[in-house]
Structure 1
Amino acid sequence: MSSSENQSVLTASTAPATSPSDLITAVPTPFLADGSLDVPGMKRLFTALATRDVDGAFVAGTTGEFTTLEDDERLAVLEAGLETFGPERAYLHVGAAHTRHAVNLTRAAVSLGARKLAAITPYYFPAPLEAVIDYFRQVVDAADGAAVYAYLFTARTWTAVPHDALPRLAELGVTGVKISGETDESVAAYLAHAPAGFEVLSGNDIAYGELVQAGGQGIISGVSSVFPQPFLNLRGALRAGDADGVSAAKADVARAVGLVRAGSLTHLKAGLELQGLSAGPVRAAVEAISDEDRAAIARELERWNG
């Protein structure tokens, strides 16, 4: 069976989770009506998200519209994320289209106090494996001991990293991977090739339960920024080995993912603004949310929040 970001991946039992079941929220970046970075709003949003019982926050990633940020803006977002979530909960994304840029961002993030970094592979031009290996070698060196996660997203970057390359990444000092946009079979193959202690995280919100039960570390979820409770309920049931709770929570997660179109930026930001949180427009050129979808998100928020 194949999967996309709004389909379940991996067949797994409802046995107790053997990995930490990490729930990491991918945080959006707020902008003002004129498209400029909303620094005060960003700090308010990050503060609100930080009060939730999540295991971490993925800052300035795809959900954070990193491709639209200028370097000074991106560093401001990274600094705010680090200050709000703290060095053990903030996963700061420093990936770039080329190695020099990623290394410079890595050094800047480390100088701010970052201890957990993520870097998407080189993108736009599909990079061969040896170029990817050299890219992560230099990022790890620049990280100066901070954990580095390789962000694999072939559908957006055109750069494919073979499943059997994970041991080579581990040898470089890469801590783990975040995988987005892959099929069930591909995710399973990455898990099979991951060395002991190498963390496998997924960007597929709806696959949280299956990935953890198959041995993955956890999820990096944009949808949880709007609807945290279904994901928190699923994490709790996974950690408790509560089969009935897992089943019920998976259904709620699937419902939430469907309502925000598997993490559509416009849907996520609408969901945040409906809760009185700063979000603003989407800077990237994407489709607007319909009135019907906005109303459906509002009804679901009322269901969860009373």
Structure 2
Amino acid sequence: MGYVRTALLMAAMTALFMGVGYLLGGGSGAIIALVVAAAMNAFTWWNSDRMVLRMHNARPVAPGDRWGLHAMVAELAQGAGMPVPAVYLIETEQPNAFATGRSPERAAVAVTTGLLGRLSREEVAGVIAHELAHIRNHDTAIMTVTATFAGAIAMLANFALFFGGRRDSPMGLVGTLAMMLLAPLAAALVQMAISRTREYEADRIGAGICGNPMWLASALTRIQSAAARIDNHVAERNPQTAHMFIINPLHAHGYDKLFSTHPKTENRVAALRALAAEMGNAVQSGARGRGAGRGPWG
């Protein structure tokens, strides 16, 4: 169901983009808009991973690192039947992580020093498994495309608003102006809906990769608590990357609000608890990342 919903939302994003192009220049404007979108997506498709990693000052982690992080990523990836992604470390006290890359063969997982310092080994394994799920599901590519579409729609709408759009639009002047103003808002809402849908799916698949849903549930709770108190200054300066993180690194959205890029953490934990019950894992009250089920780090 998650994939169907994502496909429908992507179709809505494309239709919205074409509609803004049509308002700007009729049928030819819609075609031009599509060409522009294709060019922008091609550029971000090939360069987004390097751009994001550079933006967050991420440095590569080599095999044999003192945390055992590279070995953990490699073992979990191999257990999931995936290529081993590149591993990066970000210097910030806020515990968090994200995945990037256009395909499983060209992917990277980045974690913060705060994550390694504040979470147990099992909790870190749950987080890594979640990010590997994003890679296996091609979510990193999907979110790159949707973010590009959202930015392009906002750009076209501003351009149309500045130049007045089509004077003979069947929507009339008021309708055209409303469309130009509301299109970027609608695009942002669709992008956020896609992001939230993919988070639930990555939680579910990630729980299977690490072998215990409660490791990830415990990690989400601890990350949310710390992220609400600890700033991630680079993320605050680049809010367009917030949807990539396992927990929103910004301090604006704590609930399932309309503009939140992430589902409510309590809802994600509840879903993982239900999954743990289905898998036969005992839910330990107050456990700090030590689930009862056996996984690769048990």
Pick the structure with more helix per residue: 2
Q: Give the TM bin, normalised by the shorter chain.
A: under 0.3
Larger radius of gyration: 2
Indicate the structure with greater strand content: 1
TM-score (normalizing by structure 2): 0.22
Bigger RCO (CA 8 Å, 6+ sep): 1
